Amino acid sequence: MQGGDFPGQSRPAREEPRLRESHEVKVAPQRDFRPDLKSDSLALALLGAASAVARVRGGSALPQALSAVFGAYDATPQARGAIQDIAYRTMRQLGRSETLLGLMTSKAPEPPMLGGLLCAALSLLDTPEGQAAPYEAFTVVDQAVSAAAAHPDFAHAKAMVNAVLRRFLREREALVEQALREPLARFNYPQWWIDTMRAAYPHEWEAVLAAGNVHPPLTLRVNRRKTDVAAYLDTLNDAGLQAEQVGLTAVRLAHAVNVAQIPGFADGVVSVQDAGAQLAAPLLDLRDGMRVLDACAAPGGKSGHILETADVQLTSVDTDAARLARVGDNLGRLGLDATLLAADAGSRDWWDGRQYDRILADVPCTASGIVRRHPDIRWLRRKSDTSQLATLSSKILDNLWQMLLPDGKLLFVTCSLWPQESEAQAAAFAARHDAVRLDAPGQLLPLGGAGQDHDGLFYALFQKKAA
Ligand SMILES: C[S@@+](CC[C@H](N)C(=O)[O-])C[C@H]1O[C@@H](n2cnc3c(N)ncnc32)[C@H](O)[C@@H]1O
């Protein structure tokens, strides 16, 4: 008996091969298609943001997604600004917009860029409480429809775009009320992220999630080699910029401006750096002549601060050569110098064998503490990333420990809020190496408001016992 032949069964009629119906053929989405729209139109900005959102949903980080869109559209500086603004707004309320879409459409809009367009338009119509709408509602609907009509992948859906957005405006109250029953819409984070935050911070979790949806302030670090905070505040005042001191060297502007408008920025008088990140260099307790290693250095914010603080011999290491080049650029602007090495801090092959007085280990992590700056992170990360990154950083820390002199200090930093990457990692490290744990802030929760308007960083300081 041959395979497939059964006694007493008639053979099914053999199917003739047939051509696929044309509508079954999946065509690659044309995310790079340059639409025939005016460069300063809201329609072009919406389409650019939609393309960026679709790229993030496909796994790309938002800054990379945006530079791909800018290149494909050959976007003017004005168009770049508008695309970027809408893309960031969309990321901050993607959970709410996608939930609203789920209530208004029977299936997920295809291709993903069409969903991105609807979410981008919703982010302009459905502005967070207390914020003024950036455009008139009818303009947003009209321009979203023009954007859809201008793209070959979903020109056919322009009536749907019109219908969905108009329905939202008509039934806004009921739709929002229903959407907000879902945690995804209420908090704008994936469910696993909300659950993890709640488990780690039973009292503060809602405030931390809310702070992550607020636009971050522009905070500067004053270069003490060039001026001091009081004098720089006067300079800002003379330039008509309101600001206040929020740390030893930290000054926060009342309203964000372009770096080109920041007095002295080009000459290295100040750098842009979060107030929490400005704690690293003082914690290192630096003195002139020390040999210092910044092991995960790019783009060089903390390297610059180290060199502004004392005359040390600094080696700045990062695995990513392109990012390491930015350390060189930043130090060049400050007029400072370090040895730059594109190398893996988890291996020894680049090390000259001479131990360091101080090591800064600002290790790679999930970046769950800087979501207000990078609102795409929550949509890109997976729960399993935490364990993988914790394993990588423990390998880096163990390797760096042998590079530290007896009595030397190692500062472990993460921009994560997950204890597995921060406090649990620090405790396990101290136990493995019998390291002395010195005073350091531990987990800084980004709660927003006075005194807490900083990123969510973690600091642990270790000293090696004298030989
Ligand atoms: C949190 S960022 C560092 C920020 C930097 N310290 C600053 O203040 O500007 C982490 C850096 O670690 C780098 N990195 C990741 N894995 C690494 C490794 N195995 N060795 C060295 N650097 C690594 C990444 O390229 C990234 O630039």
Average pLDDT of span 238-248: 95
Atom of ligand 1 nearest to the CA of 365: 1
Measured over the CA atoms of residue 315, residue 318, residue 319 and residue 321, the dihedral's sign is: negative
**Among candidate residues 399, 412, 302, the one with its CA nearest the CA of residue 355:** 399
Distance 327 CA to ligand 1 centre (A): 11
The answer, yes or no, to whether any atom of ligand 1 lies below 6 A from the CB of 345, is: yes
Percentage, residues of the chain above pLDDT 70: 93
Half-sphere exposure of 234 (CA within 13 A, CB side): 4
Work out the pLDDT band at 448, boundaries 50, 70, 90. Answer: confident
Tens of pLDDT, residue by residue over 184-194, are 999 999 999 99
Distance 317 CA to ligand 1 centre (A): 8
E strand map for 334-457: 339-342, 356-362, 404-414, 436-443
Which carries the bigger pLDDT value, residue 263 or residue 6? 263
Residue 450 pLDDT:
65
Mutate to test the pocket of ligand 1, among 296, 363, 393 (most ligand atoms within 8 A of CB): 296
Q: Does ligand 1 lie within 6 Å of residue 301's CB atom?
A: yes
Question: Does residue 14 have a pLDDT over 60?
Answer: no
Record the pTM: 0.90
Atom of ligand 1 nearest to the CA of 298: 27
419 lines ligand 1 (CB under 6 A): no
The number of the ligand 1 atom at minimal distance from the alpha carbon of 305 is 8
Q: Is 299 in the pocket of ligand 1 (CB under 6 A)?
A: yes
CA of 416 to the centre of ligand 1 (A): 13
Is the CB of residue 250 below 6 angstroms from any atom belonging to ligand 1? no
Annotated binding residue 329: no
pLDDT tens column, 139-177: 999 999 999 999 999 999 999 999 999 999 999 999 999
Strands 218-222, 270-272: pairing kind: antiparallel
Query: 57, 19 in Cβ contact below 8 A?
Result: no
Q: For residues 423 and 444, what is the distance between their CA atoms, to the nearest angstrom?
A: 11
| 209 alpha carbon – ligand 1 mean position (Å) | 25
Tell me which H or E stretch contains 350.
Answer: none
Gap between the Cα atoms of 201 and 190, Å rounded: 17
Q: What residue type is assigned to position 262 of the chain?
A: I
Which of the 8 DSSP states describes residue 418?
-
Which is the closest atom of ligand 1 to the Cα of 364? 10
Span 80-104, average pLDDT: 97
**Domains in the chain, CATH or no CATH each:** 32-187 (1.10.940.10), 190-215+276-467 (3.40.50.150), 217-273 (3.30.70.1170)
The verdict on whether residue 297 carries a ligand-binding annotation is: yes
pLDDT for res 5: 34
Per-residue model confidence (pLDDT) at position 158:
96
Sheet holding 458-463, edge to edge: 339-342, 313-318, 291-294, 356-362, 404-414, 458-463, 436-443
CA of 298 to the centre of ligand 1 (A): 6
Tell me the average pLDDT across 271-278: 96
For residue 145, report the distance from its CA to the centre of ligand 1, in Å: 43
Q: Which atom of ligand 1 is nearest to the CA of 367?
A: 1
Would the CB of 331 count as within 6 Å of ligand 1?
no
Residue nearest to ligand 1 atom 6, measured at CA: 297
pLDDT at residue 327, as a whole number: 98
What average pLDDT does this structure show over 333-342? 97
Task: Please count the other Cβ atoms lying within 10 Å of the Cβ belonging to residue 279.
Answer: 23
> Is residue 8 scored above 60 in pLDDT?
no
Nearest CA to ligand 1 atom 11: 296
Helix (H, G, I), strand (E, B) or coil at 136: coil
Question: Is 296 known as a binding-site position?
Answer: yes
Instruction: State if residue 370 touches ligand 1 by the CB under 6 angstroms criterion.
Output: no
Query: With a 6 A CB cut-off, is 389 part of the ligand 1 pocket?
Result: no
Q: What are the tokens at 149?
A: 């009509």
Evaluate whether 233 touches 243 at the Cβ level (below 8 Å): yes
Q: Which atom of ligand 1 is nearest to the CA of 324?
A: 27
Known active-site residue 415? yes
What's the whole-number mean pLDDT along residues 292-312? 98
Q: Please give the Cα distance from 433 to 371 (Å, whole number).
A: 32
Task: Give the residue from 142, 82, 83, 148 showing the smallest Cα distance to 109.
Answer: 148
Task: Give residue 63's pLDDT band: very low, low, confident or very high (50, 70, 90).
Answer: very high
Residue 1 has pLDDT above 60, yes or no: no
Token couple for 405: 């002199």
Q: Give 206-226 pLDDT, tens digit per residue.
A: 999 999 999 899 999 999 999
Residue 161: strand, helix, or coil:
helix
Q: Please determine, for residue 365, whether its predicted confidence score (pLDDT) is greater than 90.
A: yes
Q: Which residue, judged by its Cα, is nearest atom 2 of ligand 1?
A: 364
Question: Residue 15 has what pLDDT?
Answer: 55
ipTM of the complex: 0.99
Report the pLDDT averaged over residues 125-133.
88
Average pLDDT over residues 435-444: 97
What is the pLDDT averaged over residues 220-244?
97
pLDDT recorded at residue 108: 87
Cα(63) to ligand 1 centroid in Å equals: 17
Is it the case that residue 116 has pLDDT exceeding 50?
yes
Q: Is residue 453's pLDDT more than 70? A: yes
Pocket test for ligand 1, best of 318, 329, 411, 412 (most atoms within 8 A of CB): 318
Q: What is the pLDDT of residue 82?
A: 97
User: Looking at 56, 415, 444, 461, which residue is catalytic?
Assistant: 415
Distance, in Å, from the CA atom of 87 to the CA atom of 108, rounded to the nearest integer, reads 19
C-alpha to C-alpha distance for 195 and 213, rounded to whole angstroms:
17
**Best probe residue, ligand 1, of 221, 274, 319, 417 (max atoms within 8 Å of C-beta):** 319
Cα(1) to centroid(ligand 1), Å: 65
